[in-house]
């Protein structure tokens, strides 16, 4: 299974993330790549989530203000951490290898970018919800194209503030699809003991896991982001243009670096 060493950022951003990850490179080059990575994240992903007012003046904003714009939908504590990463990048650009930063600062910056990428999706759910299958939302379906380990990290945090039946169901199945069988069943037991689901719902959810368990190999479970991209591209044509909301755009930018309308014109 994919581990969390690769952040949920656009393909171009990931290229510079990987450059910065290479410890054989000169330290100031790694710091410069950290900054470029942040620039690409802003111009591919963050721009999709900000208000129309911010979006209109986007090209005139510097990197600091583009990152600050995340405060429209994200906790300021998280934003401040990523602004700290920008400072490391600035030192690489302006001070070279004589700058006041260390290889550990680079590693910490990469970790912060990874966590930031998860926070983007978590913050989206906090602001916009997780979707409603009964109302035809594709959010849960599109979210499921990501490797289970990413879904677990995001839903574990979102579940704390929204222990709804849908979130509980999706998190339990993400555990199972990540080969974490014991965690899947113990999570449902814990939800039942907390009174978050009724006995009938507990029986239905555990029964669903038991039905899925012997047939997991038949499902298109992504093991990495390349497989996620394949699954997303297979799914996209079935989503009507009017239902390609901001979350679908977000996932499209993460996996392909392109808007859905450019990949697959609406029906």
| For the chain, domain boundaries | 11-128, 133-139+222-263, 148-218
pLDDT at 134: 58
What is the C-alpha to C-alpha distance for residues 101 and 85, in angstroms, rounded to an integer?
11
pTM of the model: 0.92
pLDDT in tens, the chain (267 residues): 445 579 999 999 999 999 999 999 999 999 999 999 999 999 999 999 999 999 999 999 999 999 999 999 999 999 999 999 999 999 999 988 888 899 999 999 999 999 999 999 999 999 999 986 556 789 999 999 999 999 999 999 999 999 999 999 999 999 999 999 999 999 999 999 999 999 999 999 999 999 999 999 888 899 999 999 999 999 999 998 888 889 999 999 999 999 999 998 765
- Give, to the nearest 10 degrees, the angle between helix 148-161 and helix 103-128: 60
Pair of tokens at residue 247: 């979350």
Q: How many CA atoms lie within 13 A of 81 on its CB side?
A: 15
Contacts 24+ apart (CB under 8 A), 259-264: 260/236, 263/233, 263/236, 264/233, 264/236, 264/237
Contact of 113 with 149, CB cutoff 8 Å: no
pLDDT at 135: 65
Tell me the CA distances in angstroms from 90 to 33, 39, 87, 128, one per residue in order: 10, 12, 5, 33
Contact of 20 with 109, CB cutoff 8 Å: yes
| Domain 11-128, CATH | 1.20.120
Contact of 125 with 154, CB cutoff 8 Å: yes
């Amino acid at each position: 299974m994919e581990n969390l060493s690769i952040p949920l950022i656009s393909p171009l951003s990931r290229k510079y993330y990987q450059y910065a990850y290479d410890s054989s490179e000169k330290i100031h080059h790694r710091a410069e790549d950290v900054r470029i990575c942040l620039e690409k994240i802003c111009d591919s992903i963050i721009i999709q989530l900000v208000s129309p007012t911010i979006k209109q003046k986007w090209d005139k904003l510097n990197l600091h203000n583009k990152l600050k714009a995340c405060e429209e939908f994200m906790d300021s504590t998280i934003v401040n951490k990523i602004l700290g990463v920008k400072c490391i990048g600035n030192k690489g650009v302006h001070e070279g290898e004589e700058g006041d930063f260390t290889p550990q600062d680079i590693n910490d910056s990469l970790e912060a970018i990874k966590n930031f990428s998860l926070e983007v999706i978590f913050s989206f759910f906090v602001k916009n919800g997780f979707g409603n299958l009964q109302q035809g939302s594709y959010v849960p379906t599109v979210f499921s194209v990501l490797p289970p380990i990413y879904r677990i990290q995001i839903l574990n945090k979102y579940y704390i503030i929204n222990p709804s039946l849908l979130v509980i169901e999706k998190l339990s199945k993400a555990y199972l699809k990540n080969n974490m069988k014991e965690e899947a069943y113990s999570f449902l037991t814990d939800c039942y003991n907390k009174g978050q689901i009724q006995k009938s719902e507990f029986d239905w959810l555990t029964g669903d896991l038991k039905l899925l368990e012997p047939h997991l190999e038949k499902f298109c479970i992504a093991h990495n982001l390349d497989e996620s991209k394949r699954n997303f591209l297979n799914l996209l044509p079935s989503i009507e243009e009017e239902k390609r909301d901001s979350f679908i755009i977000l996932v499209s930018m993460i996996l392909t670096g392109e808007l859905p309308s450019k990949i697959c014109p609406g029906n």
